[in-house]
Structures are given as structure tokens and as C-alpha cells.
Amino acid sequence: MTTGRRFCSDSRNGHTLRVDTLLQTLKDGLTIGSLYALIALGYTMVYGILKFINFAHSDIVVLGAWLSLVIATAIVKALGLEAGQTAPWWVGPFVLLCAMLVCGLIGFTIERLAYKPLRKAPKLNVLITAIGVSLFLQNTGQLQFVFGTRPQPIPSLLSDQVLFAIGNMQVRLLDLVVIGTAFVLMIALEWLVFHTKLGRAMRAVSFDVRTAGLMGIPVDRVISITFVIGSSLAAAGGFLWALSFTSIKQPADTSWVLLGLKAFVAAVVGGIGNVRGAMFGGLAIGMLEVFGQQYINPALKDVYVFAALIVVLLVKPGGILGKATVEKV
């Protein structure tokens, strides 16, 4: 093992702050954070428009991860690649696109079948329906003929080569692809919401559903599109998650629940209903978690996230970017 370069040693604590470790932590925080952000967007968009928490959102992430795995495995098999061999470059984007399309369609269906009939019902009914949808997806997913209960590895879609290294910190193509894809998708969404006619309609519905309807905005169609977009972003989150962590756990695993919960915390911390808030919240929660784990105590990593939630709710209940911006989506 190479000894990394040492900078500014703090002799009082006996700790040495290593630059490569710091960079590694930054990279990890950015990866996790951008995934949280992608997932948080779905929570925040639905909340912005319908004012309810879509608890089934994290299960769409799981679906995205598993669909990616199933599609990638099928393609790799069709191409006749050996285990451990990297698939051609086009497989990754193709799998991502398929997963996003299918999940978008499923998000659309869920909204039509489960939430739309309850449009005029009390908010609590919709919330409980969302929990029901979540349980339905989890339990269907772990059926033997769907995804099953065993963890499965996703085939290698990207070369595992190290692009460059600083001390012990290695940057791989995978890291760049994960962070890059997440940011491209977030920028695309930002553009869609703030610079298109559709985005304006979404913002209008979020501002006041009834008035938006009176102004001739097709409210139901806008809500459907919101679900499709949120669900495809979740699918992208699931795909990138699968790429980063290779071995995918069964749909009802507790780790998925925690992932969804943290993305939800990110949305709340950033200011629920606020698209930029969700992106910011996701990155902030990811960084907080990884830095706390590296420099304070790794055993308490979930504690940092939920402590941050409590602090934000106490100090600024609307979320960090919640009240500052008037625009809500």
C-alpha cells in the first residue's frame, strides 16, 4: 500500500489529515449525494403539486435498479459475454433508457389507478394509499417469478480501469459516469421546470390547482407528467445505484427503505416542494453522512442525517431553501 502525501498534521490530536482521504470522502459524498438528490426530486415534485408524500417513490427506485439488472443481464446473455467481461459501451445508456421508460409508465399507471380516484378525498387517505402501493410493490417484487429474494449482481457495464489516482484516492470511469449522469438529469429537469411551457404549467398547478384549471391548464395531464418525470428520475437513481454498488438486494430489503427515507429527508431539509431545494438537500445529506462517517464516528451515520432533519425542522421548518424562493413545483 502506498503512503499518501501528508499535509497539515494536527499533532495535538495525533490525527493526520490526509489529502487523498479527504478527496476520496468528497468523491463518495458527491456520488451518494447526487443519488439522494435524484430520488429526492421525485418526492418534492409530487409534494409540490399534490401536497402529499408519495411513499411508493422509493419502491420505484428499487424497481429501476432491478429492471436495470434484469435488462442488463438479458443483453449480456444475448451477446454471449462471459462473467466479468465488460459489456459494450451502448449497453449502459440503453439499459438506463429502458428502465426510465418502464418506470415512467409504471409511475403513470400508479397515479391513474391509485391516486387519481382520491383527488378529492382527504389527504390522509392518499397518504395511506401510498403506503399500500409501497407494500404492494415490495411484496410483488420479492415473488420468485418477479425478482426473487436473493441478492443479485449486475453485470459489468463499464470498464473498471482507474483513470487517475491521487495517493490512495482512485477515480474510475464509473465515478464520473454516476455523478455526470445525475447532474445532467438534474440540469435537464431544472431547464424543463423553469424554461418550458410545460414547466410553467407545473408551477402554476403547484401554486393553485383550481385557478390553474380555470386558466385552461390541463391539470390531470400535468399531474400525470409529473409522476412520469419523477418516476423516471427514480429509475435513473436506481440504475446508478446498481452501477455503484453492484450487488442488488431484494426489493423488500431494509436498506431500500432507508435509502428512500434519506432521500425524503433530503427533500425536507432542502425545502419540500422546491426542486432546487431537493438537489441541494440531496448533496448536503450525502456529504454530511459520508464526512460524519469518515471523520466523526462511522457507527452513527444514520444519526447525522436524522439529527440534521431535526435541526432544520426546529430552526427553519420550511427547509433551507423552502421559504426563500416563492416558486414551488
Partner 1 sequence: MHALISSRPVLSLVRTLALGAGLGLTALTGCDRGSSPSNAGAGKTASSGTPAPAPAATVGDIVIGHYGSLTGAEATFGLSTDNGIKLAVEEINAAGGVTIAGKSHKLVLKSEDTEGKPEKAGTVVTKLITADKVAAVIGEVASSVTLAGAPVAQQFGVPMITPSSTNPQCTAVGDMIFRVCFIDPFQGFACAKFAASDLKAKKAAILFDQAAAYSVGLKDEFEKNFKQMGGEIVAVEAYTKGEANFNPLLTKIREKGAELLFIPGYYTDVANIALQARKLGMKMPLLGGDGWDSSDLAKNGGAAIEGSFYSNHYASDQPTPEIQAFVTKYKAKFGETPDGLAALGYDAARVLADSMQRAGSTDGSKLRDAIATTKDFKGVTGTISINDKRDAVKPAVIVEMKGGKPVFRARVEP
Q: Which residues bind partner 1 (CB under 8 A)?
A: 1, 18, 21, 24-25, 28, 32, 83-84, 142, 149-153, 160, 168, 170, 172, 241, 244-247, 249-250, 252-255, 258-259, 290, 293-294, 298-299, 301-302
- How far apart (Å, rounded) are the C-alpha atoms in residues 206 and 17? 46
User: Residue 106 CB, nearest distance to partner 1 (Å)?
Assistant: 23
CA dist 249 to 59, 152, 174, 272, Å?
13, 7, 20, 29
Asked if residue 49 lies in contact with residue 202, where contact means CB atoms within 8 angstroms, the answer is yes
Beta carbon nearer to partner 1, 224 or 294: 294
Beta carbon nearer to partner 1, 148 or 213: 148
User: Residue 97 CB, nearest distance to partner 1 (Å)?
Assistant: 24
Beta carbon nearer to partner 1, 11 or 82: 82
User: Residue 2 CB, nearest distance to partner 1 (Å)?
Assistant: 9
Asked if residue 61 lies in contact with residue 260, where contact means CB atoms within 8 angstroms, the answer is yes
| Mode of pairing for the β-strands spanning 162-166 and 6-10 | unpaired
Q: What is the DSSP letter of 56?
A: T
User: Residue 31 CB, nearest distance to partner 1 (Å)?
Assistant: 8
Beta carbon nearer to partner 1, 59 or 111: 59
User: Residue 9 CB, nearest distance to partner 1 (Å)?
Assistant: 13
Q: What is the DSSP letter of 257?
A: H
Beta carbon nearer to partner 1, 126 or 154: 154
Helix (H, G, I), strand (E, B) or coil at 144: coil
- How far apart (Å, rounded) are the C-alpha atoms in residues 263 and 270? 10
Beta bridge partners of 164: 171
Beta carbon nearer to partner 1, 125 or 168: 168
- How far apart (Å, rounded) are the C-alpha atoms in residues 224 and 260? 21
- How far apart (Å, rounded) are the C-alpha atoms in residues 80 and 71? 14
Residue 32 CB coordination number (10 Å) = 22
User: Residue 4 CB, nearest distance to partner 1 (Å)?
Assistant: 8
